[in-house]
Chains A and B, each alone.
Chain A
Amino acid sequence: MARVQLPPVPRPQVPDGVSPAFASSVAFWARAYPRRWRATRAAELLGLLADLAEPGARRLDARSALDLLRGGWATRLRERPPFGPWLLYRLFGARSLQDHRPWVADDVAGLLFAARQSLPAVWMLVVIDLGRALDGRQRLTEGVLFWVVVAAVLAFDVLVGSTRRYAIERHLVVRPGERVTAGTWVRVKGPRRRVTAGSALPWAAGAAVAGLVAGAAAVAAAPQTIRVTPNGAGAGPGFTWSGGDVPRMSLVGALLVAAVAGALLAGLVSTRLRRAQMVSVQPDRILHRLDAQNGLAVVLGVTALGAVATAEILGVLPLAISVVVGVVAAVLAPPAVIAWSTVRRTAAADDAALVDVLRLGLLGRAARVDVPGSMLAPALPSEVGEVWPWPWSHEGSTPALG
Chain B
Amino acid sequence: MESRLTEPAYLVLLALADGPRHGYAIVQDVLGLSEGAVRLGPGTLYGILDRLVTAGQIEPEREEVVGGRLRRYYRITDRGSGAARAETERLATLAERARTALAGRRTPASEPTPVPRPALGTA
Contact = CB atoms under 8 A, between A and B. Distances in A.
A44 B70 contact: yes
Contacts of A18: 68-69
Contact of B41 (A13, A43, A51, A64): A64
B50 to A, nearest CB: 7
Nearest to B24: A51
Given A48-B23, A52-B24, A41 B46 contact: yes
B45 interface: yes
A10 B50 CA distance: 20
A44 B72 contact: yes
A2 interface: no
Contacts of B50: 75, 78
Interface residues of B, number: 20
Interface in A21-48: 41, 43-48
Nearest to B48: A71
B42 A45 contact: yes
Interface in A57-72: 63-64, 67-72
Given A47-B23, A48-B24, A52-B24, A15 B42 contact: no
Interface string B10-24: 000000000000111
Contacts of A67: 41-44
A50 interface: yes
A12 B70 contact: yes
Nearest to A42: B70
A47 B69 contact: yes
A17 interface: yes
A226 interface: no
Contacts of B23: 44, 47-48, 51
B108 to A, nearest CB: 42
A290 interface: no
B71 A47 contact: yes
A15 B71 contact: no
A69 B70 CA distance: 22
Interface in B27-84: 27, 41-47, 50-51, 63, 67-72
Nearest to B60: A44
Contacts of B42: 45, 48-49, 52, 64, 67-68, 71
A142 interface: no
Given A44-B23, A48-B24, A51-B24, A74 B67 contact: no
B43 A71 contact: yes
A71 B70 contact: no
A135 interface: no
A16 interface: yes
Nearest to B25: A51
Contacts of A299: none
A251 interface: no
Contacts of A12: 70
A306 B4 CA distance: 62
Nearest to B40: A67
Contacts of B51: 78
Contacts of B70: 12, 43-44, 46-47
Nearest to A68: B43
Contacts of A217: none
Contacts of B24: 47-48, 51-52
A14 interface: yes
A16 B68 contact: yes
Nearest to A14: B68
B25 to A, nearest CB: 9
B45 A48 contact: yes
Nearest to A60: B42
A71 B68 contact: no
A69 B41 contact: no
B30 to A, nearest CB: 13
A264 B67 CA distance: 62
A74 B43 contact: yes
B41 A45 contact: no
Nearest to A41: B46
A49 B24 CA distance: 8
Contacts of A78: 50-51
Which of B22, B41, B71 has the most A CB atoms < 10 Å from its CB?
B41
B60 to A, nearest CB: 9
A15 B43 contact: no
Given A14-B68, A48-B27, 16 more contacts: A13-B68, A15-B68, A44-B23, A44-B63, A44-B71, A44-B72, A45-B46, A47-B23, A50-B69, A51-B24, A51-B69, A52-B42, A64-B42, A67-B43, A70-B43, A71-B41
5 contacts: A14-B68, A18-B68, A46-B69, A68-B41, A75-B46
Q: Which 4 A-B pairs have the closest CB atoms?
A: A71-B43, A67-B41, A15-B68, A47-B69
